[in-house]
C-alpha cells in the first residue's frame, strides 16, 4: 500500500538561507549548545492524538480531513493502518520520540475485556514498529475523559465501578509504557473536577484522586518502571473547574498526599494561559518547586477563551520557556511534544509537516536565544545584585528563624532603617530578551 505521506521527502536541515518550506532552517540536531546537541536538549516528540486521531471536527461541524484511516469505527485493520502511517510520519519528520493515549492507537472496545485485548494486540505492533525504526516513546497515558462513562470523571467519579475501569486502563497503559521503554507516564485529569458544585463532594473526590495517584506510584515501583510519573495541570475545559488547576495547585495536592518527591508536572503552554499565567511563569514555578518534568508545546489564541492547541510560533515566548528549562539543567526524562493540531482548513498531508517543521525551528531558535542569555550572564547578574542584601548575616538570620519578629523590629528602629526604592529595570530587561530572540 502506498503511504499517505509518500510524496513527502524526509525533512533535512538546510540552514537559515534555505528557501525550502519543508526544511529545517534552525534545527540542526547535531549542533552543540551548552555542551549538548540540539536533539538532546529538545527531546522532541510527535503526539498521536491530534496528528492522527483528530479528523478536523469541531462543535459546529463534522471532520474535514478525510485521511485514509478516518471515516468509521476504528477496528483492528484501521488501527494498524493508522499505526503504519504514524511511523511513516515519524521517520520522515526525523524526531526521536512519540507519545500516545491508549485509545489513540487501539481498536474500539465495547467491554473491559475487549479493551484489554485490543490494547495488548496493538502494543505488540507498536513494539515491532519501534524496533524497526528506532523511534522511542517519550510517554504513554490512558484516556479517562472521552468515553461517556467518564462524564463525571475517572478517579473522581461518584461510581466506584468507573474508578475500577479507570484503574484497569491505567494499569494496562503504565505496564505497556514500561514494556516499550517509555521514559515517562502522564496523568491528565480531563474530567477530574466538576461542572457544578451543587452535586459535588469536594473532600470525597479529592480523596479518591489522591488514593488513585498513590496507586499509580505504588504500581510503578512494583513493576520496576523507572520513568517519571507526570500530572498535566489545566484549570478548566472540559469541566468548569479541574482539581489540577495550575502548577502551584498540583504541588499542594502532591504535598497533601505525600507525593511531592514522586510526581512531577507536564506543563502545556495553552493550559498555562487558560489559568491566567504565562507559559514561562508555570515553568519557572515548577523549577522553583523541583517538579518540572516535561512540556506540551503549543499555544492558544488571545482572541479565544478556549484550548485551541495551535502550533507554537512566538520565538520570544519560547526563548523564555527555554531559558528556565536550561536553568533547571534540562528536562531530565521529559521532552517537548507537540500537543498541537493543524487547523480545520489545513486538509492536505503536507500541512501536518508544515505545522511541525515551523514549530521545531521556533524551538531551536528559542533554545539558541536562551543559551545566549545564560552565557551572557546579564539576567543572573542583575538578579544577584537585586537580592544581594539578603546574603548578609543579619538578613540570613531573619530567614533562618534564629531571631523573632520583635527582635527584627527593635533592631530596625535602633538602626534607623530608611530604605530607598530602587529601579527594577523592567524595560531594560525586556530589551535584553528581545535582543536575544
Q: Burial letters for 53-64: b for 16+ Cβ neighbours within 10 Å, e otherwise?
A: bbebeeeeeeee
DSSP state of 107: P
- What burial class does residue 222 get, using C-beta atoms within 10 Å of its C-beta: 0-12 exposed, 13-18 middle, 19+ buried? exposed
- Pull the grid cell for residue 142: 490512558
Give strand ranges (E) for 203-297: 228-231, 241-242, 263-268, 292-296
Task: Compute the distance between CA of residue 237 and CA of residue 190 in angstroms, rounded to an integer.
Answer: 8
Task: Compute the distance between CA of residue 170 and CA of residue 156 in angstroms, rounded to an integer.
Answer: 14
Which element (helix H / strand E) includes 182? none
Measured CA distances, 392 to 383, 385, 387, 399, 406 (Å)? 16, 13, 10, 11, 19
Q: Is 101 a known active-site residue? A: yes
Q: Is 104 a known active-site residue? A: yes
Find out whether 170 and 216 touch, Cβ atoms under 8 Å: yes
Find out whether 166 and 124 touch, Cβ atoms under 8 Å: no
Contacts of 401 (CB under 8 A, 6+ apart): none
Annotated active-site residue in 41, 101, 271, 356 = 101
Q: Which residue has the cell 486521531?
A: 53
Measured CA distances, 363 to 118, 137, 193, 298, 311 (Å)? 36, 20, 32, 11, 11
Find out whether 313 and 366 touch, Cβ atoms under 8 Å: no
Crossing angle, helix 315-327 and helix 279-289, to 10 degrees? Answer: 0
Contacts of 292 (CB under 8 A, 6+ apart): 264, 265, 267, 283, 286, 325, 328, 331, 334
Task: Compute the distance between CA of residue 272 and CA of residue 281 in angstroms, rounded to an integer.
Answer: 8
Helix residue ranges per DSSP H, 257-386: 269-274, 279-289, 315-327, 349-376, 378-386
Annotated active-site residue in 41, 50, 102, 104 = 104
- Pull the grid cell for residue 324: 528556565
**Catalytic residue ranges:** 101, 104
Amino acid at each position: 500500500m502506498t503511504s499517505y505521506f509518500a510524496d513527502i521527502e524526509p525533512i533535512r536541515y538546510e540552514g537559515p538561507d534555505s528557501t525550502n518550506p519543508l526544511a529545517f532552517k534552525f534545527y540542526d540536531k547535531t549542533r552543540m549548545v551548552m555542551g549538548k546537541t540540539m536533539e538532546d536538549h529538545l527531546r522532541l516528540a510527535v503526539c498521536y492524538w491530534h496528528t492522527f486521531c483528530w479528523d478536523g471536527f469541531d462543535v459546529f461541524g463534522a471532520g474535514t480531513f478525510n485521511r485514509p484511516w478516518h471515516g468509521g469505527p476504528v477496528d483492528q485493520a484501521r488501527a494498524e493502518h493508522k499505526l503504519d502511517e504514524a511511523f511513516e510520519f515519524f521517520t520522515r519528520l526525523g524526531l526521536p520520540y512519540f507519545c500516545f493515549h491508549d485509545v489513540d492507537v487501539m481498536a474500539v472496545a465495547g467491554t473491559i475485556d475487549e479493551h484489554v485485548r485490543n490494547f495488548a494486540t496493538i502494543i505488540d505492533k507498536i513494539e515491532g514498529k519501534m524496533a524497526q525504526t528506532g523511534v522511542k516513546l517519550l510517554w504513554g497515558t490512558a484516556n479517562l475523559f472521552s468515553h461517556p462513562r467518564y462524564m463525571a470523571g475517572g478517579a473522581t467519579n461518584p461510581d466506584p465501578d468507573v474508578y475500577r475501569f479507570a484503574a484497569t486502563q491505567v494499569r494496562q497503559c503504565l505496564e505497556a509504557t514500561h514494556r516499550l521503554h517509555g521514559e515517562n507516564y502522564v496523568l491528565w485529569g480531563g474530567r477530574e473536577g466538576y461542572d457544578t458544585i451543587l452535586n459535588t463532594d469536594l473532600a470525597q473526590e479529592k480523596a479518591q484522586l489522591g488514593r488513585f495517584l498513590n496507586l499509580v506510584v505504588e504500581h510503578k515501583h512494583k513493576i520496576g518502571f523507572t520513568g517519571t510519573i507526570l500530572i498535566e495541570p489545566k484549570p478548566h475545559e472540559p469541566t468548569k473547574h479541574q482539581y489540577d488547576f495550575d502548577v502551584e495547585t498540583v504541588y499542594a495536592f502532591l504535598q497533601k498526599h505525600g507525593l511531592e518527591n514522586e510526581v512531577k508536572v507536564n506543563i502545556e503552554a495553552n493550559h498555562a494561559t487558560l489559568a491566567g499565567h504565562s507559559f514561562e511563569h508555570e515553568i519557572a514555578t515548577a523549577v522553583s518547586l523541583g517538579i518540572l518534568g516535561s512540556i506540551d508545546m503549543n499555544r492558544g489564541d488571545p482572541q479565544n477563551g478556549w484550548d485551541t492547541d495551535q502550533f507554537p510560533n512566538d520565538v520570544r515566548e519560547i526563548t523564555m520557556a527555554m531559558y528556565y528549562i536550561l536553568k533547571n539543567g534540562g528536562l531530565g526524562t521529559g521532552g517537548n511534544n507537540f500537543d498541537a493540531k493543524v487547523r480545520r482548513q489545513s486538509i492536505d498531508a503536507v500541512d501536518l509537516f508544515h505545522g511541525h517543521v515551523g514549530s521545531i525551528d521556533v524551538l531551536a531558535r528559542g533554545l539558541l536565544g536562551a543559551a545566549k542569555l545564560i552565557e551572557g550572564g546579564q539576567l543572573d547578574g542583575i538578579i544577584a545584585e537585586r537580592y544581594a542584601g539578603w546574603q548578609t548575616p543579619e538578613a540570613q538570620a531573619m530567614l533562618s528563624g534564629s531571631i523573632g519578629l520583635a527582635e527584627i523590629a527593635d533592631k530596625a528602629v535602633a538602626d534607623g532603617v530608611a530604605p530607598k526604592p530602587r529601579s527594577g529595570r523592567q524595560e531594560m530587561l525586556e530589551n535584553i530578551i528581545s535582543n536575544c530572540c
